[in-house]
């Protein structure tokens, strides 16, 4: 079992959902990016999702796309992303890389998988890769013992969900809304039904991402999902706080961590 699997198992034993925090690597530069990820852990994030900055981020909304642009201008490379992963994993963090598929192919699929494993990572989230087109990644992830986290969405048919979860390992990423990343005023009304549909086909944990940015939203999603994934709210926090980003990230992470630990109302 990977470190991510262990973290999910531990959270389930505690009777709560896991909090997954996303930030792009090298944002705003390599060293401050590592410090920001460490701040998420210090605030109570259970699992890190480290983004590989990419120039054509089709799933990312304007906040994360802007952060990726900052990281690329600061000199982000695949090597720097792997260095970031190694630094946070060395501190005991459970971490995965979120990456579009083209950089992995350019680097070499097996070479990339080997590097992620060597750096202490647990696997990849691949938003633009379909499992039935992922033969090379399926082989590489098996060879190096990595989790492979594919996405399902409210528009996914039952047949597509069944096929996708069959190839997932670690957890299933349920995109709570259609469209790109970004905080929404209200939690998705489609997400509970999507999670219920996913559970018909797998016993893997289900993480819900896109649109969560407050403790109240985290608490709501934690009532029906195994993991609450937060990205844009953390990225915006870095933009807003500037040099004070680590302290601001710790506070926001602590608020969200309290949300996933909130007991459901009774009566």
According to DSSP H, which parts of the chain are helical?
3-13, 30-43, 62-73, 78-90, 101-107, 109-118, 135-144, 158-167, 191-199, 215-222, 232-241, 245-260
Catalytic residue among 6, 31, 42, 49: 49
Determine contact, residues 211/177, Cβ cutoff 8 Å.
Answer: yes
Establish whether 49 is a catalytic residue: yes
Catalytic residue among 31, 42, 60, 147: 60
User: How far does Cα 133 stand from its chain's mean position?
Assistant: 21
Widest distance between CA atoms in the chain: 55
| Cis previous bond, 28, omega within 30 | yes
> Whose structure tokens read 């990339």?
112
> Whose structure tokens read 């080997």?
114
Establish whether 69 is a catalytic residue: no
Which residues have a catalytic role annotated? 49, 60
């Amino acid at each position: 079992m990977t470190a991510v699997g262990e973290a999910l198992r531990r959270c389930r034993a505690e009777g709560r959902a896991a909090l997954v925090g996303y930030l792009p690597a090298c944002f705003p530069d390599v060293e401050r990016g590592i410090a920001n990820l460490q701040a998420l852990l210090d605030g109570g994030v259970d699992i890190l999702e480290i983004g590989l900055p990419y120039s054509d981020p089709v799933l990312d909304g304007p906040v994360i796309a802007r952060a990726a642009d900052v990281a690329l201008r600061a000199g982000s490379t695949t090597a720097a992303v792997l260095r970031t992963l190694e630094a946070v994993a060395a501190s005991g963090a459970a971490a995965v890389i979120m990456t579009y598929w083209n950089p992995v192919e350019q680097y070499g699929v097996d070479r990339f998988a080997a590097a992620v494993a060597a750096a202490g990572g647990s696997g990849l989230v691949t938003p633009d890769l379909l499992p039935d087109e992922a033969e090379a990644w399926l082989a590489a992830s098996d060879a190096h013992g990595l989790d492979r986290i594919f996405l399902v969405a409210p528009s996914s048919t039952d047949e597509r969900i069944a096929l996708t979860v069959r190839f997932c390992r670690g957890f299933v990423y349920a995109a709570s809304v259609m469209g790109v990343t970004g905080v929404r005023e209200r939690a998705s009304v489609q997400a509970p039904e999507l999670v219920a549909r996913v559970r018909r086909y797998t016993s893997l944990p289900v993480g819900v991402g896109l649109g969560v940015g407050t403790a109240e939203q985290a608490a709501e999603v934690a009532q029906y999902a195994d993991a609450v994934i937060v990205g844009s709210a953390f990225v915006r926090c870095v933009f807003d706080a500037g040099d004070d980003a680590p302290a601001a990230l710790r506070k926001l992470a602590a608020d969200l961590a309290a949300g996933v630990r909130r007991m459901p109302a009774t009566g």
